[in-house]
Amino acid sequence: MANHDALPLVVLTEQFAKLPGIGMKSAARLAYHVMSMPAQEVEAFAQALLNARQTVHFCQCCENLTDQKFCPICEDDSRDHSLICVVETPKDISAFERTGEYQGVYHVLHGLISPLKNILPDDLKIRSLIQRVREGNIREVIMATNPTVEGDATAAYISQLLKPLGVTVSRLAFGLPVGGALEYADEVTLFKALENRNQM
């Protein structure tokens, strides 16, 4: 925005531009849009921002985001609390829940180990995971981080910490995506699919 723009608009544009994936042009468009919204809706938006930030925090058990002491999944007695699926972000939980197949509980790391980005193990919610396993009654921990260098490294690191505690540690299967075509599969995926082939 240029110096002929109203200052409050410039400030709002800069706030929007701080959000991930929103550049200066989109931010200006959003700021102009706010001008055309009813004042009541803008107030509801501002209130939603403050509310979410103030009342949502980490579940005391699995570190998922919740506005209660424990998240609904940890509170759910019908789920298998001896099976923990370790994910990077709360969004990953939604992906698993959409399958409707997983009946265990979760643990959210809130990141992956990445020395290049200066994210070390202590910056993640690893300690509370170890604590959960140590407190007992955990049968298996599934490492469900992304199949990337950082995801693999984080899974390997946590696995080394968990194994001495006598718990089964597993990793998601890698292979051809269902519905995908062989000719479009990359070499690494194809190699993994070969390596992990199952008897028919």
Distance (Å, whole) CA 152 – CA 193: 17
Of the candidates 32, 70, 157, 174, which one interacts with its own copies according to CB under 8 A? 32
Interaction of residue 179 with its own copies, rule CB under 8 A: no
Q: 19 with 49: CB under 8 angstroms?
A: no
Assess 80 for contact with its own copies (CB under 8 A): no
- Among 65, 153, 167, 176, interactor with its own copies by CB under 8 A: 65
Residue 45 vs 191, nearer CB to its own copies: 45
78 interacts with its own copies by CB under 8 A: no
For residue 119 the two structure tokens come to 């994210």
# chain residues binding its own copies, by CB under 8 A: 59
Cα of 138 vs its chain's centroid, Å = 22
Question: 69 vs 134, which CB is nearer to its own copies?
Answer: 69
Name which position in 17, 70, 81, 89 contacts its own copies (CB under 8 A). 89
Helix, strand or coil, per DSSP, at residue 96: helix
Rg (CA), the chain: 22
Max distance between CA atoms of the chain, in angstroms, equals 70
Residue closer to its own copies by CB (options 65, 193) is 65
Structure tokens at 66: 């919740």
Q: Nearest Cα to 12, choosing from 31, 25, 29? A: 31
Which candidate, 156, 139, 148, places its Cα nearest to that of 174? 148
Give the one residue of 23, 24, 49, 60 binding its own copies; rule: CB under 8 A: 49
CA distance 52 to 117: 27
String of contacts with its own copies for each residue 121-160, x by CB under 8 A: ----------------------------------------
Is 112 a binding residue for its own copies by CB under 8 A? The answer is no
- Residue 103 sits in the site that holds its own copies (CB under 8 A): no
Euclidean distance between the first and the last CA atom of the chain, given in angstroms as a whole number: 63
**Positions that interact with its own copies (CB under 8 A):** 1-9, 11-12, 14-15, 18-21, 26, 28-35, 37, 39, 41-56, 64-68, 71-73, 89-91, 93-94, 97-98
